[in-house]
């Protein structure tokens, strides 16, 4: 069982279930996003295996063998404490996989210290600002295309807003003021070892996550995946 912390409209949870077959529980504080996520899961025929709940990601109402938080932990106060507390509620050898937008422009060492401040073990840390920059350029290109199609004044306004936002973000990324980090935290070692945790597909799912980009609309064919895989570090 995997928890999607701050699942938004559930695209990633659905894509992961389709790729790996794992059960996923998505948690988000926005009731509208959860309602939409449920609708999408039903439409994708994945509803029994994927559940969505309105809840605070800092205290998910279930335990799991692994969790991921994509661009959601930067919205909570004191993220390191939250990450540490979440890591204690994940069964070893699980992991928490996180993508995190940092607006302070911290260098690698400083960011690692920031995450580890709560007492967690950071397993991998990568600067993936480039990915974020690519997505930004795609959004800007879509806005320029929209402008070329001579939209209504409201459409023009939206496109100009997107373009100015993307130009601002691109400048922050170039100057190193805005960075997107991807990291994995090891589950709290104090928990009792649960052999069943090996039988769930948590790590398989987490291995699928680095490929995470704009949702593929659930078009990826279901691939029967073995639910027992080596640890993430074996890659």
Ligand X SMILES: C[S@@+](CC[C@H](N)C(=O)[O-])C[C@H]1O[C@@H](n2cnc3c(N)ncnc32)[C@H](O)[C@@H]1O
Residue 98 as a binder of ligand X (CB under 6 A): the answer is no
SS3 192: coil
Residue 71 as a binder of ligand X (CB under 6 A): the answer is yes
Binding-site size for ligand X (CB under 6 A) equals 16
Nearest distance from C-beta of residue 116 to ligand X, angstroms: 21
Task: Give me the count of residues in the chain.
Answer: 235
Nearest distance from C-beta of residue 27 to ligand X, angstroms: 6
Radius of gyration from C-alpha coordinates of the chain: 19
Say if residues 218 and 44 touch (Cβ distance below 8 Å): yes
Specify the stretch interacting with ligand X by CB under 6 A; choose among 22-30, 120-128, 140-148, 221-229.
Answer: 22-30
Residue 208 as a binder of ligand X (CB under 6 A): the answer is no
Residue 33 as a binder of ligand X (CB under 6 A): the answer is yes
SS3 150: coil
The residue written with tokens 């691939």 in the block is 223
Residue 13 as a binder of ligand X (CB under 6 A): the answer is no
Residue 193 as a binder of ligand X (CB under 6 A): the answer is no
Say if residues 191 and 2 touch (Cβ distance below 8 Å): no
C-alpha 161/C-alpha 105 separation (Å) is 24
Residues that bind ligand X (CB under 6 A): 6-8, 12, 28-30, 33, 56-58, 70-72, 75-76
């Amino acid at each position: 069982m995997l928890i999607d912390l701050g699942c938004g409209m559930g695209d990633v949870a659905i894509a992961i279930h389709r790729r790996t077959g794992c059960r996923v529980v998505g948690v988000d504080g926005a009731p509208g996003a959860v309602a939409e996520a449920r609708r999408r899961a039903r439409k994708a025929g994945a509803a029994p295996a994927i559940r969505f709940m309105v809840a605070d990601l800092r205290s998910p109402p279930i335990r799991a063998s692994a969790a991921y938080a994509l661009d959601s932990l930067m919205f909570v106060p004191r993220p390191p404490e939250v990450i540490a507390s979440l890591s204690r509620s994940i069964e070893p050898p699980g992991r928490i996989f996180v993508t995190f937008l940092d607006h302070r422009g911290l260098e690698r060492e400083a960011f690692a210290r920031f995450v580890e401040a709560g007492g967690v073990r950071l397993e991998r840390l990568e600067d993936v600002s480039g990915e974020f920059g690519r997505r930004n350029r795609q959004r800007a290109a879509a806005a320029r295309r929209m402008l070329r199609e001579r939209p209504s004044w409201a459409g023009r306004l939206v496109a100009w807003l997107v373009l100015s936002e993307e130009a601002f973000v691109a400048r922050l990324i170039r100057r190193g003021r805005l960075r997107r980090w991807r990291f994995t935290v090891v589950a709290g070692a104090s928990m009792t070892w649960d052999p069943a945790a090996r039988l769930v597909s948590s790590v398989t799912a987490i291995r699928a996550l680095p490929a995470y980009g704009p949702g593929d609309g659930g078009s990826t064919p279901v691939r029967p995946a073995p639910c027992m895989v080596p640890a993430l570090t074996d890659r």
